[in-house]
Amino acid sequence: MPERGRPRSFDRNAALESAMQVFWEKGYEGASLADLTAAMGINPPSLYAAFGCKEALYLEVMELYSRTIGMEIWSSLETIATIKEALNGFLLATAKAYSQPNQPHGCLIALGGLHSGEVTKPICGAFCKHRADSIVKLRQRLQRAVAEGELPASIDAEAIATFYATVQNGMSILARDGGDYRALKHVADGAMAAFDALTGR
């Protein structure tokens, strides 16, 4: 029975996507309600009725980002069978996503919540959780490779995962500074150049 009362005159998903663009480019504090409502094509009361408040909207934007853009980037890590190619595909997908011409450069998750004065506590917590999860995903993929006999059990999976997650985060800053796909690929190649030495092959 959600069909009572005046129907909403805008597409909630489209509005959320517009909000994502604004937050992605301008950050949480940098995106004003005026910026958001202008991009979403609605007035403040509609925003508050549909999303609660600015903070709740941002948290929902983070979920949308990791469900769409994030998925594009991370999927190759799981789908590619061999660990070295999976990591390489993951980094190249990162380079491609971070240099798309029609969207803000770099990652919304990597670049957000880096200054305590610019974010609320729940948002800071969500960022910590998401970024910590990046390391976990990489570590689990490395451990899978060990379980499959592809890598020796002697590797430091946590250290290697931290390294690749950190390289990816650095790529967000490079992309924000105008680094194109070519520059980002140089970084990916550099990180892959460490693979054999790190995994003892």
| Long-range residue pairs from 150-156, CB within 8 A, at least 24 positions apart, any chain | 150/82, 150/83, 151/83, 151/199, 152/199, 152/200, 154/200, 155/198, 155/199, 155/200
Residue closer to DNA (CB basis): 42 or 87: 42
Which residues within the stretch 123-142 sit at the binding site for a copy of itself (CB under 8 A)?
128, 131-132
Euclidean distance between CA atoms 104 and 22, whole angstroms = 9
The one among 22, 39, 42, 138 contacting DNA by CB under 7 A:
42
Q: Which of the choices DNA, a copy of itself, none does residue 45 contact, using the CB cut-off of 5 to 8 A by kind?
A: DNA
Instruction: Tell me the residue length of the chain.
Output: 201
User: What is the pattern of x (binds a copy of itself, CB under 8 A) and - over residues 28-47?
Assistant: -xxxx--x------------
Task: Tell me how far apart the alpha carbons of residues 189 and 193 are, in angstroms, rounded to a whole number.
Answer: 6
CB atoms within 10 A of CB 69: 19
Find the binder of DNA among 10, 163, 181, 195 (CB under 7 A).
10
**CA dist., res. 76 & res. 112, Å (int):** 24
Q: Pick from 14, 38, 49, 147 the residue near DNA by CB under 7 A.
A: 49
Contact positions vs a copy of itself (CB under 8 A): 25-27, 29-32, 35, 106, 110-111, 114-119, 128, 131-132, 156, 158-160, 162-174, 176-179, 183, 186-187, 189-191, 193-194, 196-198
Name the residues that contact DNA, by CB under 7 A: 1, 3-10, 29, 31-34, 42-46, 48-50, 53-55
